[in-house]
């Protein structure tokens, strides 16, 4: 079957249909329509799987892509051709992404049917969840930035609704507002970047942008003294930062766990936050052109390290996971920045899978014992064996233990970062990227195992907690500990976890199977991921031309080719820096792998010593002042509230207020009033005599007179109107005819 927009569209239209049905009829459906939402995602999954199979198992060549467009609206006038196209653009990356998003979303939906059972917001949850998924899928399918932006905003709205789904809780409302407003900051920049690109090439389609890069249309263009490529790339990256919770804009994500845990799993772990990384990957050539890669790498490194340190001291199981998400997103950004294109994307995929599984497991724990604080857990291994198994697999993966997926992807990012920082001839300052990266990796291993040990190992601390402590979900005291039953294998609760945990194994992603059984990809010597995913080769699009803004022939011809983007299609790294040295890269990778294994195991060992053996005092007691800093999350929230808002905006407001009251009001308003009093006396006379007597009364009389005439017309008598109509028509015919 040929691919058309029509048979690709069901991928995101099926969940939209479920959304519409649930939104209008959800209350009347059995189980409030959750099965419908789940089924719709399954449909998406089937369609995605078909595309994936075609791409991976050999229907298409490795560098082939599907690009179908139709004109959405046409603003062409005269010689100016302004067409806005909508369409789908599926390459290998999008195909993998589609399968991941729909698969993970399906499992999360399935899990949610268990988790949200008997919840008062059950119905509403299953209204927004499919809409959210469909927006994500549509975003992946988009072939241009404009439609990407539309779905981006739909996702923003859905995450707002899902975070604040318990709308009776004030914290939930605040958190949703915070998430919405913080990501808006990024979105404004994204819009700005889009406008800048549109101004130059008259299109925001990926293909057109690649073509413009290849044809050198960006050369010599500048906005506000900055090179256009830098400006637009920076703006787009800032948009991605907002969505992907990068360093200054990360504050919304930890609060986003106010929503139901499966919702967090879908939104703030697996898919939505990946959108920012996905955008950065799509616009990678622009980033390279704009020389922004070092900036991305630094931002990623700071985020990765900072979030990892904060995660060290969190006691809420979901908070640990939230900060680990930020940290891992930082690694992805490092990957983008250091040119490790396919490793960044692979980390996106592996992270989505194990993080979804981690969140679902956390949900399983929370739902089973009605408790989120880790100090009150412990020893749950006996009660929740399946959850423990799944969570352990994922923790091993995220910690970077060999044979698990996280190791495969993170190790490659770190290896490239090592090369980037020390061997690529960059500025020495860039050394912080690998340093922070490796440090963060160790911290990751530590805090993840800290979470595991506190939750599942040791003695059960639930029975002797103080009763005065607040209960997270307002459940009764009886909920604590007494009603934990041994977990039985349940389809909706455990199967999604187990399926996801199977995919935390590394060989799925690093597979180098030989033999022709699985088609060309699995028959190759290199890892299939490396073959399929590589940075867009813009040279392919040199000949691509479309009639764009101010059509092509009226422009002065550009000298082609301008070597603005020197791409090296090295399948080993995909790094596009100057003269990549293959030997050095191998060296860096070897060192990186050894280092990261050592660091990961030492992190795990430290956690073991602290929380199982208890032979080492937890760091929190040693560095208590630093711990305070971490517990307050580096005071970022306080920074925004106290400094930016109270110290920055409030004094500014006071200044404005003073100006308003002291200057404007006193001089302008009051002074004007005094002037007016004089004028008023004069005008009073004028008013009484001239205006009132002649003007007003006169007008009244005139209107009255006019009324007498108009009243006849405005009688409400239809026949009279008809007579007027016919008379006018007759006179028209008469004049035209003569």
Partner 1 sequence: MFAQVLFLMSAFLTIGCAIAVMVTKNIMHSCIFLLGSLIGVAGLYATLGADFVAVTQIMVYVGGIVILMLFAVMLTGGKDFVSRAQNLLGLAPAMGNKWTYGTGLFVGAVFLLTNVSLLMNVSKAYPVKNFGNEFPSTVSAIGKLLVKEHVLAFELSSVLLLGALVGAAIIARPRKQ
Partner 2 sequence: MMGLTSYLVISLFLFITGLVVMISRKNIVAILLGIELILNAAALNFVAYSRYVTGNLDGHIFSLFIIVVAAAEAAVGLAIIIRFFQIKETIHIDEATQLRN
Give the one entry of partner 1, partner 2, none that residue 734 binds, where binding means its C-beta sits below a cut-off of 5 to 8 angstroms depending on kind: partner 1
Say whether residue 602 binds partner 2 (CB under 8 A).
Answer: no
Choices 67-75, 489-497, 620-628, 714-722; region in contact with partner 2 by CB under 8 A? 714-722
Q: Which residue reads 């000949």 in tokens? A: 543
> Of 596, 577, 187, which is closest to residue 404 (Cα–Cα)?
596
644 binds, among partner 2, partner 1, none (CB under 5 to 8 A by kind): none
Q: Which does 625 bind (CB under 5 to 8 A by kind): partner 1, partner 2, none?
A: none
The residue among 6 and 716 lying less far from partner 2, judged by its C-beta, is: 716
Residue 736 in the binding site for partner 2 (CB under 8 A): no
Residue 722, interface with partner 2 (CB under 8 A)? yes
718 part of the interface to partner 1, by CB under 8 A: no
Residues 311 and 327 sit within 8 Å (Cβ to Cβ): yes
650 binds partner 1 (CB under 8 A): no
Nearer to partner 1, 681 or 737 (CB): 737
What 3-state class would DSSP assign to 461? coil
If binding is defined by CB under 8 A, does position 6 make contact with partner 2?
Answer: no
Residue 9: DSSP 8-state: T
Burial environment of residue 423 by CB neighbours within 10 A (0 to 12, 13 to 18, 19 or more): middle
Q: Which is nearer to partner 2, 560 or 709 (CB)?
A: 709
Whether the upstream peptide bond of residue 285 has omega within 30° of 0, thus cis, is: no
Please enumerate in sequence order all residues whose Cβ is within 8 A of that of 393, keeping only pairs 6 or more positions apart, or say none: 354, 357, 404, 501, 504, 505
The answer to whether 712 contacts partner 2 (rule: CB under 8 A) is: no
Interaction of residue 726 with partner 2, rule CB under 8 A: yes
Q: Which is nearer to partner 1, 491 or 713 (CB)?
A: 713
Pick from partner 1, partner 2, none: which does 718 bind, CB < 5 to 8 A by kind? partner 2
737 makes contact with partner 1 (CB under 8 A): yes
Please check whether residue 335 is in contact with residue 361, taking contact to mean a CB–CB distance below 8 angstroms: no
Residue 161: both structure tokens together: 């609704």
Which residues, at least 6 apart from 332, have a Cβ–Cβ distance to it below 8 Å?
Answer: 244, 274, 277, 300, 344, 347, 348, 351, 413
> Binding to partner 2 (CB under 8 A): which residues in 303-322?
none
- Give least dist CB 72 to partner 1, A: 21
517 makes contact, choosing from partner 2, partner 1, none, with CB < 5 to 8 Å by partner type, with none
Query: Binding partner 1 by CB under 8 A: which of 78, 79, 718, 734?
Result: 734
Q: Is 707 in the site for partner 2 (CB under 8 A)?
A: no
- Is the CB of 666 or the CB of 717 nearer to partner 2? 717
Q: Which two tokens stand for residue 211?
A: 């073509």
Select 699 or 707, whichever has its Cβ closest to partner 2.
707
Residue 77 phi, psi (nearest 5) = -140, 135
Q: Is 199 in the site for partner 2 (CB under 8 A)?
A: no
* Spatial separation of the C-alpha atoms in residues 407 and 595, rounded to whole Å: 12
Interaction of residue 713 with partner 1, rule CB under 8 A: no
Residue 726 in contact with partner 1, rule: CB under 8 A: yes
**Exposed (0-12), middle (13-18) or buried (19+): which is 316, by Cβ within 10 Å?**
middle
Q: How far is the CB of 715 from partner 2 (least distance, A)?
A: 6
- Of 667 and 720, which has the nearer Cβ to partner 1? 720
* Strand duo 222-223 + 226-227: pairing: antiparallel
Pairs from 537-540 (Cβ < 8 Å, separation ≥ 24) = 537/63, 537/567, 537/569, 538/210, 538/211, 538/213, 538/214, 538/285, 538/565, 538/567, 539/214, 539/567, 540/63, 540/210, 540/214
CA pair distance 548, 243, nearest whole angstrom = 30
Q: Is 552 left (phi over 0), alpha (psi -120 to 50) or beta?
A: alpha
Pick the stretch among 267-275, 478-486, 494-502, 725-733 that binds partner 1 (CB under 8 A).
725-733
- Sequence-separated (6 or more) residues with CB below 8 Å from residue 41: 14, 15, 18, 102, 105, 106, 109, 130, 133
- Choose which of 625, 681, 719, 737 interacts with partner 2 (CB under 8 A): 719
What minimum distance in Å lies between the beta carbon of 722 and partner 2?
A: 6
Query: Which of 1, 75, 682, 718 forms a contact with partner 2 (CB under 8 A)?
Result: 718
Choose from partner 2, partner 1, none: what does 598 bind? Cβ within 5-8 Å by kind. none
Nearer to partner 2 among residue 652 and residue 721 (C-beta): 721
User: Choosing among partner 2, partner 1, none, which partner's interface includes residue 737 (Cβ < 5 to 8 Å by kind)?
Assistant: partner 1
Q: Which does 729 bind (CB under 5 to 8 A by kind): partner 1, partner 2, none?
A: partner 1
Residue closer to partner 1, measured from CB, 672 or 720:
720
Contact characters 673-712, partner 1, x per CB under 8 A: ----------------------------------------
Residue whose C-alpha is closest to residue 259's, from 473, 49, 438, 51? 473
Which of partner 2, partner 1, none binds 222 (CB below 5-8 Å, type-dependent)?
Answer: none
Candidates 162-170, 612-620, 622-630, 729-737: pick the segment binding partner 1 (CB under 8 A). Answer: 729-737
| Residue 733 interacts with partner 2 (CB under 8 A): yes or no | no
505 phi and psi angles, rounded to 5 deg: -75, 145
558 binds partner 2 (CB under 8 A): no
Which string of x and - marks every residue 657-696 that binds partner 2 (by CB under 8 A)?
----------------------------------------
**Distance between CA atoms of residues 288 and 229, nearest Å:** 9
Between 657 and 727, CB nearer to partner 2: 727
> Of 72 and 722, which CB lies nearer to partner 1 in the complex structure?
722
* Closest C-alpha among 12, 114, 52, 47 to residue 519: 52
| 647 interacts with, out of partner 2, partner 1, none, CB within 5 to 8 A per kind | none
Site stretch for partner 1 (CB under 8 A), options 55-63, 162-170, 538-546, 723-731? 723-731
Q: What is the DSSP letter of 488?
A: P
Token pair, residue 256, equals 């986003």
**Could you tell me which of 563, 162, 574 has the C-alpha nearest to residue 339?**
574
Backbone phi, psi, residue 692, to 5°: -65, -50
DSSP state of 20: H
Residue with tokens 């931002």: 299
Q: Least distance from C-beta 274 to partner 2, angstroms?
A: 54
Nearest to 510 by CA among 527, 525, 526: 527
| Binding-site member from 224, 621, 716, 736 for partner 2 (CB under 8 A) | 716
Q: Does 727 bind partner 1 (CB under 8 A)?
A: yes
Gap between the Cα atoms of 627 and 604, Å rounded: 20
**Nearest distance from C-beta of residue 58 to partner 1, angstroms:** 43
Binding to partner 2 by residue 717, rule CB under 8 A?
yes
Q: How far is CA 476 from CA 117, 467, 471, 483, 493, in A?
A: 18, 11, 8, 11, 23
User: Which residues within the stretch 467-526 sit at the binding site for partner 1 (CB under 8 A)?
Assistant: none
Q: What is the helix (H) or strand (E) element at residue 358, kind and residue range? A: helix 341-369
Q: Measured on CA atoms in the order 70, 74, 76, 81, is the torsion positive or negative?
A: negative
Of partner 2, partner 1, none, which one does residue 716 interact with (CB within 5 to 8 Å by kind)? partner 2
Pick what 708 binds: partner 2, partner 1, none; C-beta below 5 to 8 Å, kind-dependent.
none
638/727 with CB nearer partner 1: 727
Binders of partner 1 in range 294-353 (CB under 8 A):
none
Across 601-624, b (16+ Cβ under 10 Å) vs e yields bebbebbbebbeeeeeeebeeeee
Contacts to partner 2 by CB under 8 A: 715-719, 722-723, 726
Contacts to partner 1 by CB under 8 A: 719, 723, 726-727, 729-731, 733-734, 737-738
């Amino acid at each position: 079957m040929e691919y058309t927009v029509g048979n690709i569209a069901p991928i995101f239209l099926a969940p939209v249909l479920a959304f519409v049905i649930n939104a209008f009829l959800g209350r009347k459906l059995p189980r409030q329509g959750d099965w419908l939402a789940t089924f719709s995602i399954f449909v998406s999954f089937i369609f995605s799987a078909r595309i994936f199979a075609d791409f991976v198992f050999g229907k298409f060549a490795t560098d082939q892509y599907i690009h179908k467009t139709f004109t959405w609206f046409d603003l062409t006038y005269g010689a100016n051709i302004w067409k806005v196209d909508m369409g789908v653009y599926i390459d290998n990356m999008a195909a993998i992404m589609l399968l991941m998003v729909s698969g993970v979303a399906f499992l999360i939906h399935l899990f949610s049917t268990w988790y949200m059972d008997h919840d008062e917001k059950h119905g509403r949850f299953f209204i927004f969840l499919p809409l959210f998924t469909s927006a994500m899928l549509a975003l992946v399918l988009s072939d241009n930035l404009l439609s990407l932006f539309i779905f981006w905003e739909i996702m923003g709205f859905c995450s707002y609704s899902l975070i604040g789904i318990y709308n009776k809780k004030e914290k939930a409302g605040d958190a949703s507002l915070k998430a919405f407003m913080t990501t808006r900051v990024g979105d404004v920049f994204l819009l700005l970047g889009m406008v800048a690109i549109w101004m130059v090439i008259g299109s925001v389609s990926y293909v057109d942008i690649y073509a413009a890069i290849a044809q050198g249309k960006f050369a010599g263009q500048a906005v506000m003294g900055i090179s256009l490529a830098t400006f637009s790339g920076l703006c787009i990256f800032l948009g991605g930062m907002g969505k992907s919770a990068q360093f200054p804009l990360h504050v919304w994500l930890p609060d986003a766990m106010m929503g139901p845990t499966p919702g967090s799993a879908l939104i703030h772990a697996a898919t939505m936050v990946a959108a920012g990384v996905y955008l950065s990957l799509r616009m990678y050539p622009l980033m390279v052109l704009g020389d922004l890669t070092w900036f991305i790498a630094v931002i990623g490194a700071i985020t990765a390290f900072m979030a990892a340190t904060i995660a060290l001291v969190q006691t809420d199981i979901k908070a640990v996971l939230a900060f680990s998400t930020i940290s891992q997103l930082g690694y992805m950004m490092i990957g983008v920045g250091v040119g490790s294109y396919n490793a960044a994307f692979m980390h996106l995929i592996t992270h989505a899978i194990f993080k979804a599984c981690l969140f679902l497991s956390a949900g399983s724990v929370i739902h089973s014992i009605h408790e989120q604080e880790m100090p009150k857990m412990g020893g749950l291994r006996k009660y929740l064996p399946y959850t423990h198994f799944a969570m352990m697999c994922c923790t091993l993966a995220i910690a970077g233990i060999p044979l698990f997926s996280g190791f495969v992807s993170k190790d490659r990012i770190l290896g490239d970062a090592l090369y980037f920082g020390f061997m690529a001839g960059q500025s020495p300052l860039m050394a912080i990227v690998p340093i922070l990266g490796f440090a963060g990796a160790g911290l990751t291993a530590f805090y993840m195992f800290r979470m595991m040990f506190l939750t599942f190992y040791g003695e059960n601390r639930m029975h002797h907690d103080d009763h005065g402590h607040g209960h997270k979900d307002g459940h009764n005291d009886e909920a604590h500990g007494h009603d934990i039953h041994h977990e039985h294998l349940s389809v909706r609760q455990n199967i999604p976890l187990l399926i996801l945990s199977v995919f935390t194994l590394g060989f799925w992603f690093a597979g180098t199977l030989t033999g022709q059984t699985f088609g060309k990809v699995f028959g190759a010597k290199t890892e299939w991921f490396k073959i399929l995913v590589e940075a867009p080769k813009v040279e392919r699009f040199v000949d691509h031309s479309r009639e764009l803004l101010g059509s092509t022939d009226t422009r002065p011809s550009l000298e082609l080719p301008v070597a603005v983007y020197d791409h090296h299609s090295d399948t080993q790294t995909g790094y596009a820096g100057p003269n990549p040295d293959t030997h050095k890269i191998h060296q860096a990778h070897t060192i990186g792998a050894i280092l990261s294994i050592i660091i990961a195991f030492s992190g795990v060992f430290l956690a073991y010593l602290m929380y199982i053996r208890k032979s080492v005092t937890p760091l929190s007691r040693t560095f208590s002042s630093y711990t305070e800093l971490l517990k307050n999350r580096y005071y970022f929230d306080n920074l925004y509230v106290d400094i930016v808002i109270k110290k920055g905006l409030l004094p500014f407001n006071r200044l404005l207020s003073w100006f308003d009251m002291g200057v404007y009001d006193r001089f302008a308003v009051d002074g004007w009033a005094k002037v007016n009093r004089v004028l008023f006396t004069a005008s009073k006379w004028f008013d009484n005599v001239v205006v009132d007597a002649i003007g007003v009364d006169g007008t009244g009389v005139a209107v009255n007179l006019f009324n007498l005439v108009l009243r006849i017309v405005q009688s409400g008598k239809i026949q009279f109107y008809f007579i007027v109509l016919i008379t006018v028509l007759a006179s028209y015919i008469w004049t035209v005819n003569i």
